[in-house]
Chains A and B, each alone.
Chain A
Amino acid sequence: MNHLVVDRVTKLYGDAAALRDVSLSVAAHDYVVLLGPSGSGKTTLLSVIGGFTEPTSGRIEIAGADVTAIGPAKRPTTTVFQDYALFPHMSVEKNIGFGLKLRRVPKQARAERVARALDMVGLAAFGRRGIHELSGGQRQRVALARALILEPEILLLDEPLGALDLNLRRQMQDELLALQRRTGRCFVHVTHDQEEAMALASLIVVMNQGRVEDAGPPARVYARPATRFTATFMGESTEIAGEILSPGVAATKIGHLPAPKSLQAGATILIIRPENISADGTRDVKLGAARITEAVFQGAHYRVLAQSESGQDFVLRVPPSTAPAPGDTLTLSCGAEDLVAV
């Protein structure tokens, strides 16, 4: 189960903490995405796992062995770098075969494995090309093949899709997923793009200011975020500030709403994802009436901003057939399970 264990890792640069007491446990078949804004520590964490950065304190375990003191050369991890970091003076084949050559794999066996790796990333005919003759997407594939040919326990990917245009990025996402399933290896992927994270991850780790804010399957992290930061970072939502009156009841601007019974008395924030708010007043929890302030057509739906008389803002999605217009009044409601306290 615990293929990769990050145990209370802290990394200080002078007085500034890039990572504070980060712990994580990952299974062998997981596609992990470290998600967070720049400066959140996600790249530092990747670098610590890869052995490029030594943690100030804490341990890293891979496949049951403590690797904290082992450098990148000897670690069972390989990395796909943000700018691919291909060797510009070597052909595609030589780039991919470099790791095997260092491991003294005989020439014949090496050539066979390089050919298989090229085939795997769809570059079978490109072995003799120079790096400068390749497009961005092709370079990305060479970087993947070069890292995967060593059969690492964990493949680390540092914002690998950042330099690609949107179409290519979607295509590479599919290929990454397929590669991960085919090789059955653990991938750890860093990105700041929450859509990319949701498309790829079996485990999303949301990071902020050097801490893990939330970690879990994408559906759970999106629908029931553990913290307000996660809620905001994973997408839009309506935020309703309230006060816990008695267990399970919160007083808000728009009346009493159900809240988790575990919450102690005090202030809380309830969030609702836009697609969970219904505009026809049919769901269990009534949110009252709100006037549309803005309605933007987005193809499959309208994105609607609305405000209640008491000043509560809402963001929701409305089907195009209802043709919402600013000034219209909607009767809002949602399911009890759609209200999440953060």
Chain B
Amino acid sequence: MFAGAYMALCYVFIFLPVGVLVLFSFQAGDLPVPPFHGPSLRWYEAAFQDGRLVDAFTNSLLVGVISSAVSVFIGFLAAYGLARYDFWGKDVVRALIMLPLAVSYLLVGMGLLVSTSALGFGPSLITVIIGHVVINMPLAFAICLAQLGEHQRRIESAARDLGANTARVLFSITAPMIAPALIAAFCLCFTLSWDEFLIAFLNTRFDVTLPVVIWSLLRGGLNPETNAAGSFIFLVSVSLVLIVEFFLLRRRRA
């Protein structure tokens, strides 16, 4: 009884803010505060007609897809190299690849801003993409590495035995074999990129991503349109996390 109440309290604490955000995105009135009138899709309509939000949505999508694809590609190759070859300093290399996970986003963002400025090309979506690859590649690497066990190694050996070269093995055997993990890694990287604020904020100027534009909308005061945009971001993230769980759980059962 007590445990149940405690659990309920925890969940309320975690989900109440999200619930309130989503609830007032359906507000019919002008302010996202009680009392609740509606429901109405008025503010969703407004959000989808707001040029800044739509542009930012496209930018976020672009940054998310490209940075996740690059992260998974590099992470997969790095994981394959570390799982299949022995070389001097292997542990150091592994540690170096994982290191960005421990570095704060603020440092990554600032470092990137300083370096790109010094190199003469200023803030842009490309810089943000680079930043997101830096923070997400270690994750993709770790997910891929966990899948490349001895069983997979023997299957790769079998492919070599039948005449396949390394490129063939990588793209006809290894990648399809761990496809669920690659898809899961991609979705996870995308969710993290999708609502990443600090790096995107520090490294964009005119073309901005969704979290950055929402931040600037919030500076102009509370508005149910912001709730609508926020709820939409949340919906995308949740869907992707569900996809990840589907692939990783199915993997475990198989």
Residues in A lying within 8 Å of B, measured CB to CB = 50, 52, 71-74, 77-79, 81-83, 85-89, 98-99, 102-103, 132, 146-147, 150
Contacts and interface: CB of A to CB of B under 8 A. Distances in A.
Contacts of A99: 162-163
B243 to A, nearest CB: 19
Interface in B97-132: none
Contacts of A87: 155, 158-159, 173, 177
A88 B163 contact: no
B154 A73 contact: no
Contacts of A72: 157, 160-161
B151 interface: yes
B163 A86 contact: no
Nearest to A72: B161
Given A85-B157, A98-B162, 18 more contacts: A52-B157, A52-B161, A72-B161, A78-B162, A81-B154, A82-B154, A83-B151, A85-B158, A86-B158, A87-B173, A89-B176, A89-B179, A99-B162, A103-B163, A146-B162, A147-B161, A147-B162, A150-B162
Contacts of A89: 176-177, 179
A71 B160 contact: yes
B165 interface: yes
Contacts of A71: 160
A41 B20 CA distance: 67
B143 interface: no
Contacts of A74: 163
Interface of B: 151, 154-155, 157-165, 168, 173, 176-177, 179, 254
A73 B179 contact: no
B165 A73 contact: yes
A102 B168 CA distance: 9
18 contacts: A50-B161, A72-B157, A73-B163, A79-B157, A79-B158, A83-B154, A85-B151, A85-B157, A85-B158, A86-B155, A87-B159, A87-B173, A99-B162, A99-B163, A102-B164, A132-B254, A147-B162, A150-B163
Contacts of B176: 89
B74 to A, nearest CB: 23
A81 B158 contact: yes
Contacts of B151: 83, 85
Contacts of B254: 132
B76 to A, nearest CB: 15
Nearest to B163: A102
A189 B213 CA distance: 67
A86 B162 CA distance: 12
A78 B161 contact: yes
B177 A79 contact: no
A296 B164 CA distance: 55
A56 B173 CA distance: 30
B11 to A, nearest CB: 38
Contacts of B159: 87, 98
Interface centre among A52, A86, A98, A103 (most CB of B within 10 A): A98
Nearest to A80: B158
A106 to B, nearest CB: 16
Contacts of B179: 89
Which 10 pairs of residues, A with B, have the shortest CB-CB distance?
Answer: A99-B162, A85-B158, A102-B163, A89-B176, A85-B154, A72-B161, A85-B155, A73-B163, A79-B161, A72-B160
A88 B160 contact: no
Contact of B155 (A52, A88, A147, A150): A88
B220 to A, nearest CB: 51
Contacts of B168: 102
B147 to A, nearest CB: 12
A76 to B, nearest CB: 11
Interface centre among B154, B160, B163 (most CB of A within 10 A): B163
Given A87-B177, A89-B179, A102 B155 contact: no
